[in-house]
A and B are shown apart, each in its own frame.
Chain A
Amino acid sequence: MKELSINDFFDLCKQRFVLSIITDSLSTDKKIVEPHIHRPGLALSGFFDRFPNQRIQLLGETEISYLQSLPEDVLYDRLEEMMTMNIPCFVVSKGLSVPSQMDFIANEKSIPIIVSRLSTEKLYWGLSRFLRDYFSPDQSVHGTLVEVFGVGVMLTGRSGIGKSECALELIERKHRLITDDVVRLKQQDDKLFGFSTKDIGHFMEIRGVGIIDVERMFGIEAIRKESRVDIQVELMPWRENMDYERIGLTNQHTEHLGMEIPCIYLPVSPGKNVSVIIEVIAMNHILKTYGYDGAEAMQRKLAEEMQQKTRQRTINTQNN
């Protein structure tokens, strides 16, 4: 299970959510282990059953004004009880100031209180999205991810089969590289996304040449930082007598992170222009998502023709 230390959380979100910390220091070993946010209204009113203490506790105007309305001794008891439950941190919205007792107990129990300038609503959705992205399952795959006509195509296949060379040809044809060699996959919103494992630029290894910098060489239009992964193309050496797809009426799939995406097994042989075929695969994918399947259309037309001929044949035999 993934976890996120409060220090990292603060560093990652400081700018985005205009955060500042009001407790003494961030020197805490507290960790966020759940991608959810909790607004502890009920807990503040004294109901601690099923209190989700592992979540970030978000205090908005409602919670803060409730706290301010409490008599001091009750306020102290409630907050102390809450903070003995090992919560990761408090986040306060709208730049509101918390009662001084709260600050005091938080420092004692070393639970950070982080204040944001954003409104509760914005903060809630923003943090939810951030946490969901951070905690979403990921996986690394040996392959190259390119975006062809807006379709995310992940090229896979054994080392040396020509994934990078194919990607290079596609870049030449004005398509865009996301990452070469290792694709980090993430599942977000029931869709599969891919990006580079490291944010160090778009480098690529070409056999016999070495490392090249794609962004420098082809310009900013040749790259992207992330893309959806719509389809996988597995490049494989051409073999005689191997069953390759001839019609395309049966669609094969492959699975990553529990998500199914279409997979095409593409035989490659020397002199074959793979990049043009990849473009065709991408365009065909677009057509299929728009509801047109070339293989099916042809099949239908042939079936009609044959039916007509069969009818003609029966009429002829009856007349004879």
Chain B
Amino acid sequence: MIKKKIIVQNPLGLHARPSSLLVKLANQFRSDFYIRKDDMTINGKSIMGVMMLAAECMSEIELIIDGVDEEYLLQEVEKLFAERFGE
């Protein structure tokens, strides 16, 4: 299991479009993927959950990944966040 904290950097936060990109990416992997923000933990493969986090710009979220391809998934997710979801 990997836990990693990450800061949301795109100006509009995790709104609909970035959420769907994140979920689409996560669904390509076999590992379980959870995201925690404050006291809320949601399944990172479900779009409603991710959107409900309403993670704004500069907020901190924790990625919790568990499974055979956890490292690859983390790598790809970090890449997506670093690219600020292309925004």
Contact = CB atoms under 8 A, between A and B. Distances in A.
B16 A249 contact: yes
A295 interface: yes
Contacts of A241: 27-28
| Most chain B CB inside 10 Å of its own CB: which residue of A241, A299, A302, A310 | A302
Contact of A310 (B16, B17, B27, B56): B56
Interface string B20-39: 10011001100000000000
A222 to B, nearest CB: 36
B20 A247 contact: yes
Nearest to B52: A302
Chain B: interface secondary structure?
loop
Contact of A246 (B23, B28, B54, B55): B23
A306 interface: yes
Interface string A274-306: 000000000000000000000100110011011
A190 B62 CA distance: 53
Nearest to B58: A313
Nearest to A299: B16
A28 interface: no
B42 interface: no
Contacts of A307: 56
A127 to B, nearest CB: 53
Contacts of B20: 246-247
Nearest to B21: A246
Given A246-B23, A295-B16, A306 B47 contact: no
A302 B54 contact: yes
B36 to A, nearest CB: 16
Interface in B35-72: 47, 51, 54-59
B15 A310 contact: no
Given A241-B28, A310-B57, A313-B58, A303 B15 contact: yes
A307 B57 CA distance: 8
Interface of B: 12-17, 19-20, 23-24, 27-28, 47, 51, 54-59
3 interchain residue pairs of minimum CB distance: A306-B56, A306-B13, A309-B56
